[in-house]
């Protein structure tokens, strides 16, 4: 087969190492839209077609997210590279086969480790791995088990193993930093790189405009999303959270479910939070989220119904009386408005700070917000006890949801006040 790919035209030079390096590990942290996923899809196809011994494992945190992301992207890129006719795309598995040789591109999730250890390929070796959105892999140990499936002798004398990680570096506390980026602690034979939107010549002006706007609007978040730097923990409102897997059935036995809704539209997302609160052990378990811009009342209603929340008690943002009334009229019977009292934000935050907050890894937006919701600074650069009111939509939704658990005491004293005014109390 005659193929003439002009790689420098197809990918930016920031991704050249993907096509020349033999490092055992290449770790790409990067800003939003820096071209990581696209470059990796090109690399997947390139290695299959040019190296007959290569089979790929494409790994994400959850197996069922591959079809709509990595699989679709690789298919699109194979088309662009003019070779899709040589591949068989099986979307239902999903799986991709290179027809001339039978080499495979396999898709798996860290949620199903057994489906990885049992992989065997017909030709060549399983010697390439792409870990997409690696930030979502919260457990280093779980990852190590998966990595162990990539071993054995490669028949091809030129052959080598390689794993590539791509991710947005939301927090400096992630194991990826110690393992691949920090000089003192990083493993051998790793190439650790950073890319930003400036490394992606294929972005449109609109997208770049939004990134630059984010720099102005929320510099802390922009550090990660625009500059591709590690998110810093200093000044975070919540230090008491962990992103981890938990057994929901077990958790729900002793916990109270809470539901909150924060409304947004074009710029801000509409956010829904579902969590379980254990008042005895002081744990909050976050296990479901909605996070989406451009939702009309009807869309919110549909989402709530489809996901089984039609008859759930939901506390919603009191600034949006009309939306609440509309949702109630449509049939969300038990939606209530949050109370707005002086200091209610800090009151809610204080309450949440008294718990350990566990976030299920599938709640990616919740995790992002907890990793970037920070206190403000005064003009001298000192932290002040007031959070920056930005990118806190999920957290607001959760706060509303928690309100019935926070308010009882307050209500009682409020009621006492009322009694006093009426001359009825002591």
Ligand X SMILES: Nc1ncnc2c1ncn2[C@@H]1O[C@H](COP(=O)(O)OP(=O)(O)OP(=O)(O)O)[C@@H](O)[C@H]1O
Instruction: Give the footprint of Mg ion on this chain (CB under 5 A).
Output: 37
Out of 168, 171, 278, 371, name the contact with ligand X by CB under 6 A.
168
Rounded distance, CA 15 to CA 65, Å?
24
Phi, psi of 299 (to 5 degrees): -65, -40
In the window 341-360, what residues touch ligand X (CB under 6 A)? none
What is the Cα–Cα distance from 168 to 345, expressed in whole angstroms? Answer: 29
Per residue, the 3-state secondary structure of 10-35, as one string, reads: HCCHHHCHHHHCCCCEEEEEECCCCC
Q: How far is the CB of 69 from ligand X (least distance, A)?
A: 9
Instruction: Name the residue with the smallest CB distance to Mg ion.
Output: 37
338 binds, among Mg ion, ligand X, none (CB under 5 to 8 A by kind): none
Rounded Cα distance, 177 and 167, in Å:
11
Among 30-38, 256-264, 282-290, 400-408, which window interacts with ligand X (CB under 6 A)? 30-38
Say whether residue 30 binds ligand X (CB under 6 A): yes
Instruction: Tell the smallest beta-carbon distance from residue 62 to ligand X (Å).
Output: 16
For 311: left if phi > 0, alpha if psi spans -120 to 50, otherwise beta; the answer is alpha
Work out whether 33 is an interface residue with ligand X (CB under 6 A).
Answer: yes
Ranges assigned E (strand) in 40-80? 54-60
Q: What is the DSSP string of 207-263?
A: HHHHHHHHHHH-HHHHHHHTT-PPPP-TTBS--SEEE----HHHHHTT-EEEEEEE-
Binding flag, residue 203, ligand X (CB under 6 A): yes
Number of shown-chain residues binding ligand X (CB under 6 A): 15
Q: Which residue has the tokens 């923990």?
A: 233
Residue (195 or 297) nearer to ligand X, CB? 195
Contacting ligand X (CB under 6 A), which of 200, 297, 362, 392? 200
14, 18, 25, 32: residue in contact with ligand X (rule CB under 6 A): 32
Which of 18, 35, 179, 262 touches ligand X (CB under 6 A)?
35
**Helix, strand, coil % in the chain, rounded to nearest 5:** 40, 25, 40
- Give the chain's length: 426
In angstroms, the CA 105 to CA 125 distance is: 11
Q: Which stretch binds ligand X (CB under 6 A): 198-206, 241-249, 339-347, 388-396?
A: 198-206
Out of Mg ion, ligand X, none, what residue 200 binds, judged by CB under 5 to 8 A for its kind, is: ligand X
The Cα–Cα gap between 172 and 232 comes to 6
Q: Report what 33 binds from ligand X, Mg ion, none; CB cut-off 5-8 Å by kind.
A: ligand X
Residue 35 or 94 with smaller CB distance to ligand X:
35
With CB under 6 A as the contact rule, which of the stretches 36-44, 173-181, 234-242, 410-418 interacts with ligand X?
36-44
Q: Which of 14, 26, 37, 116 binds ligand X (CB under 6 A)?
A: 37
**Please, which residue, 11 or 316, has the CB nearer to Mg ion?**
11
Chain residues binding ligand X by CB under 6 A are 10-11, 30, 32-39, 168, 200, 202-203
């Amino acid at each position: 087969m005659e193929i003439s790919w002009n790689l420098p035209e197809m990918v930016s030079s920031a991704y050249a190492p993907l096509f020349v390096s033999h490092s055992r590990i290449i770790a790409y942290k990067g800003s939003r839209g820096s071209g990581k996923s696209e470059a990796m899809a090109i690399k997947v196809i390139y290695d299959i077609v040019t190296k007959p011994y290569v089979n790929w494992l494409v790994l994400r945190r959850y197996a069922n997210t591959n079809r709509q992301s990595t699989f679709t992207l690789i298919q699109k890129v194979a088309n662009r590279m003019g070779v899709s006719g040589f591949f068989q795309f099986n979307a239902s598995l999903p799986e991709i086969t290179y027809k001339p040789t039978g080499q495979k591109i396999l898709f798996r999730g860290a949620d199903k480790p057994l489906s990885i250890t049992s992989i065997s390929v017909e030709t060549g070796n399983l010697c390439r791995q792409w870990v997409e959105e690696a930030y979502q892999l919260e457990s280093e140990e779980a990852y190590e088990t998966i990595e162990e499936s990539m071993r054995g002798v490669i028949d091809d004398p030129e052959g080598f193993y390689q794993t590539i990680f791509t991710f947005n570096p939301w927090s400096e506390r992630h194991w990826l930093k110690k393992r691949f980026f920090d000089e003192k602690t990083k493993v051998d034979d790793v190439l650790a790189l950073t890319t930003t939107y400036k490394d992606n010549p294929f972005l449109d002006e609109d997208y770049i405009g939004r990134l630059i706007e984010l720099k102005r609007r929320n510099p802390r978040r922009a550090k990660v999303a625009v500059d591709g730097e590690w998110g810093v923990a200093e000044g975070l409102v919540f230090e008491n959270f962990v992103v981890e897997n938990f057994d929901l059935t077990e958790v729900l036995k002793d916990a109270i479910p809470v539901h909150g809704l924060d409304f947004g539209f074009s710029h801000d997302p509409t956010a829904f939070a579902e969590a379980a609160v254990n008042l005895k052990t002081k744990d909050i378990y976050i296990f479901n989220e909605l996070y989406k811009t451009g939702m009309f009342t009807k869309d919110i209603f549909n989402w709530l119904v489809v996901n089984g929340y039609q008859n759930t008690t939901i506390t919603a943002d009191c600034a949006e009386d009309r939306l609440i009334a509309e949702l109630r009229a449509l049939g969300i019977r038990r939606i209530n408005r949050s109370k707005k009292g002086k200091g209610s934000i800090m009151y809610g935050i204080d309450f949440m700070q008294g718990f350990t907050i566990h976030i299920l890894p599938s709640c990616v937006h919740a995790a992002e917000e907890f990793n970037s919701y920070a206190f403000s600074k005064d003009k001298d650069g000192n932290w002040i006890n007031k959070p920056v009111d930005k990118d806190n939509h999920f957290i607001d939704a959760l706060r509303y949801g928690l309100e019935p658990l926070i308010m009882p005491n307050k209500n009682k004293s409020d009621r006492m006040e009322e009694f006093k005014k009426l001359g009825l109390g002591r």
